[in-house]
A and B are shown apart, each in its own frame.
Chain A
Amino acid sequence: MSPALISVRDLHKTYGSGAGEFHALRGIDLDIHTGESLAIVGKSGSGKSTLMHLLALLDRPTSGSITLHGTETSGLGARELNRTRNAEFGFVFQQFFLNAQNTVLDNVTMPLTIAGVPARERKARGLAALRQLGIEDKAGNKANDLSGGQKQRVVISRALINRPSVIFADEPTGNLDSNTGATVESILFDLNRTQGITLVVVTHDEDLAARCDRAVTIADGLIVPATTQEVAA
């Protein structure tokens, strides 16, 4: 097996301190390999989003290590973390997080704008990404004027525009009806298969989890061992 893209060891995350202390993650070990699709499932409040945020370097763990491409990330400074997230990761959230008043193209090219890519190249790559998801004709529209499914396509276009190695998706279909949700799922798995983009999906949806190469279940801040998982299933 190829070396892990992201490797997590004994990861702890504690919110608050003293009496209000809450251990959201209590010792997670996890390897994510290049090109795989991984589902993170579990009950509400089990710590799925917390784990995803740590994996995506959006937050720092209380203790434990996360390595990306073999590099320990705890030593990285703010600038390196920003650069890594900008260049390596794509994000899809349940809420679309589009700037409603800006154009679709402007929303899609945001990661490139942040990276300092020149305007002309931004436009070309933005249109290409939209074309890939079949909504090129909406490029000039305000993001607000799109349907939910179209919005999520815009979000996916934005997630893949910087040619990331990993796309993190937190409840990507949570706000969509089942048909549209299925389409969005297909798009994500298609990207995973054809472009080799690693997919980390946080979901409640059993079907979505089942379509992934692998699923880990979180309960009370710990990964439930595979045997118990099968028993539960």
Chain B
Amino acid sequence: MQHALRLLNLRKSFGPVTVFDGIDLAVAPGEVVSLIGASGSGKSTMLRCINFLEMPDSGTVEVFDKGLSVEAGGMTRGQLHQIREIRKITGMVFQNFNLWPHRTALGNVTEALIHVLGQDAPQARDTAMAALEKVGMAGFANRYPAQLSGGQQQRVGIARVLAMRPRVMLFDEATSALDPELVGEVLKVLRLLAQEGNTILQVTHEMRFAREVSDRMVFLSQGRILQDAPPEELFTNPADEAVKRFLSGTH
């Protein structure tokens, strides 16, 4: 079976701090996998290594048929090209939305359609409006990010990713920066994406949500995967004392 995403022997450290020292993970097409673990356990770093916002020290990242192995030493031109190819088929939603403030909601979505995928303006507009429609933001297409609430901004952030038709979606705590009353509207969109068969790797602190939508939950601790199991199994049968403590702490 072809993997949607595969990490092989991924290593990453920041100076003296080793985040992970040889991690393996595979995600099948259509699978929804949630990464959980304590603060500082390396969840964000792992996600960011997949689209090379963080450069792994070594190891292999494969997203469908695009793959890149990193060894010590600088990047070659070919590798930079490979990185862009991987980025084009992965979509990342950020904790802090990271919308471009000089572009409207619509502009934020069309930007990469036009300037990365090379769509013409009318086509990009249609694609973008469809994506905004899907996240319930079509009525706000001409608003600037500063004129939107956090939940609305995040939904635009999701539309920006959606419009690119990524083959793997990466969500890094998509609801953590939101006021509690705004979390629901974003979770609703994420739930829809999960149910539609998208391949998703998400970092989340919303345990109830993770349990509901995930096919697997992966518990990370000090750069190691302590448990990788379907939610029910993880919740009923934590493999490790650390997992148990983490789960009891978040309920």
Say whether A associates with B.
no
Could you tell me which B residues sit within 8 Å of A by CB distance? none
